[in-house]
Structure 1
Amino acid sequence: MSDTIQAARWPGLARTPRTPLKARIAKSIVKGAVRGLPVRLTFPDGTVWGAGGPDSPEMAVRRPQAFFARLGADTKIGFGEAYMAGDWTTGDGTDLADLLTPFAARLTTLVPPSLQKLRGLVDVRLPHHERNSIEGSRSNIERHYDLSNELFAEFLDPSMTYSSAWFEEGDDLQAAQERKIDGILDQAGVTEGTRMLEIGSGWGALAIRAARRGAKVTTITISQEQAALARERFAEAGVDVDLQLVDYREVGGEYDAIVSVEMIEAVGEEYWPVYFATIDRLLAPGGAVSIQAITMADHRYRTTRNSYGWIQKYIFPGGLIPSEEAIDRTLAEHTRLAVTDRRPLGRHYARTLREWREAFDAHWPAVNAQGFDETFRRMWDFYLAYCEAGFGVGYLDVVQLQMRRPG
């Protein structure tokens, strides 16, 4: 594995931070944190940390000084950056998600309580330029979804669906994605003649399936790349879909059903009230809403809501995962809507992510040929494995929420 980092493409990553005191503190925290974990941290001098036996997942720290320096400089971001830089990797025979799973299972207790009280002093606040204003949202979305349609095609199923599937026995990924989409459409009551609005088009799979039910479909996106491919897919499928390149705040009209799949995570807490108020404004009397949302426990959401992490820096700028309680509170305070049905699918996301990661790794030569380098490969592997571990242990969940106006 080459560790050459292109400094122009990855500013700040090529240079190891100089934080000797913080590095020593980080080293002490890591040593204590893994003392009870069923993993092995191995070092070039033969030192082994952790409670795992010879068959446990191995984290091979190749450059200890750089690893602890990155952790010391920024605890929440440095761990992932150190993997991107090649300061640590997995041992022979160790799967990255399997290694990260014990960490994810104990994520809230890895740092001693006495030090957790100081998190307000070390947490980096969300960057102002990543606020999800209309302009900021377009910039944030471009940084992820406009990377390359060809990139996503290499690891997604043929439907090009980039959200959690819903598996039943015997399903392949495409069948599980279609079941997920049907679940959303059923919750929202989408049938022949339904005026349906989709907030967040993706690459068009849900809109196509809704149109084939006979619905009158409007779908919106702010991703130029996604819009271009979605229009091609609508034409190939022979469906009539009104795709608009607009922000959700700019939509007018009235709809019998409104659906949105894993869009709220990109809205930002500051804009949840206007997001749900917009849905309420656009929903026709007697209509129904179905959104699929990644969630976390309310106490974890409250603790992390104002801090800036690796996922936000490298994968989803401006992103924030809500709790179901936070959604309920926002609805009660800013809309006439309430949640009337909940369908949790968290364990299905762990499997979805593993299938994506396996496909990404299998198709890496084709991705590499598109101009993505080895640092990107390590970043994307870490992203998919990190999320898989989070869903696998229940730290994260994903739920389909039906919303209506009571009465």
Structure 2
Amino acid sequence: MPLIAHVLSVLALPTPGIPLLIGGCGAGRTHALHAVMARLEGDTTPVYLDVERLATTPEQCYRSLLRHVRLADDGPALPAPASLASPRDAYAAILAVLTRARAASGRPFTFLLDEVLDLRTFESFPGLKTLMAETGVALGRSDNRFVLATRFRQRGARLADAWPRIVPVLLDGAPDDTRGDDALAALDPVERQQVLALTGGRLGYAVLVGAALRDARRHGLADPVGALTEQMLSGSALERRLRLSYEVRLQRARGYGALRAILDVLAEQQPLTLTQIAQRLSRTPGSTKDYLSWMLDVDLLTVERKRYTITDPLLRLWVRLNNGPDAPSDVLVARETQRFALERLAGLPEAPVAVARPASSPGGIIEID
């Protein structure tokens, strides 16, 4: 069943489930949430909330909700923000909005909570150490409906085990209705297949490479490898997104410096065992195992048969390009991107042939002759 239809079917159950969309950076979580919102039946009022933006203090979050969500005048009484005596009171008021409030139309809400795990930000406030468990119970008992999303696969899987009514929905490798046909419509079938292969099927990456390819065509011939090369240059849209993915995941984990060193090691050679990584870092296997577990927790790494790899192939390319003291040269970006593309496109028909000489076109794109 196509992904969006599957999510809608979960919401339509006699006791609606709570879909949890799980997909890494660039997988299309936000796109999928908005696609669900556009296709919801009219018996509820949909509200999209980016929890990552709202997760400051409980009091500020509550004030933001009251400004953003139109509530029924005759609904359950909610406290005035100025009357809240503690972060605990403020979070109770947030849950009241999410679980008991009704829309101005009188209909129940369907809340689409992007990056729902950022609610954990509030755990550092007094009285809120158990808020995640309490939130799961409250959402499970509510007559409102919910669609959740997270970029963290491991943490999302644990949330699905802990919260009632959760139905995990994996976006990585999802059916085509989440891939944004409109965003890639200008590409022919072979180019579309190549762009998706180069970007690991991640919608956010594919849209940026596809847009670069379309722009390059205004100045002459272009191909997906050249478009990807241009997007790996420092300051490009895709390069900035990869940098953000890198920083966000490292900041959500612990041991920032050591984790960067491990990524540098795996960017040059993978897969590697724990022992091999420890030797390259000159650290004990025990401490290295802790570092690796923190990186698995935020999906920076994947482990199979005790061998570790960087989960996102494009992020691995970005790390390899940016693990030195200076920004990578255009020549280095072109050479490493061609090497990456040859590996990714090896099994596809009509893959472009990469050569070593990059040249800047009138449109600023790197041409691969």
Give me the TM-score of the superposition, normalised by structure 1: 0.24
TM-score (norm. length: structure 2):
0.25
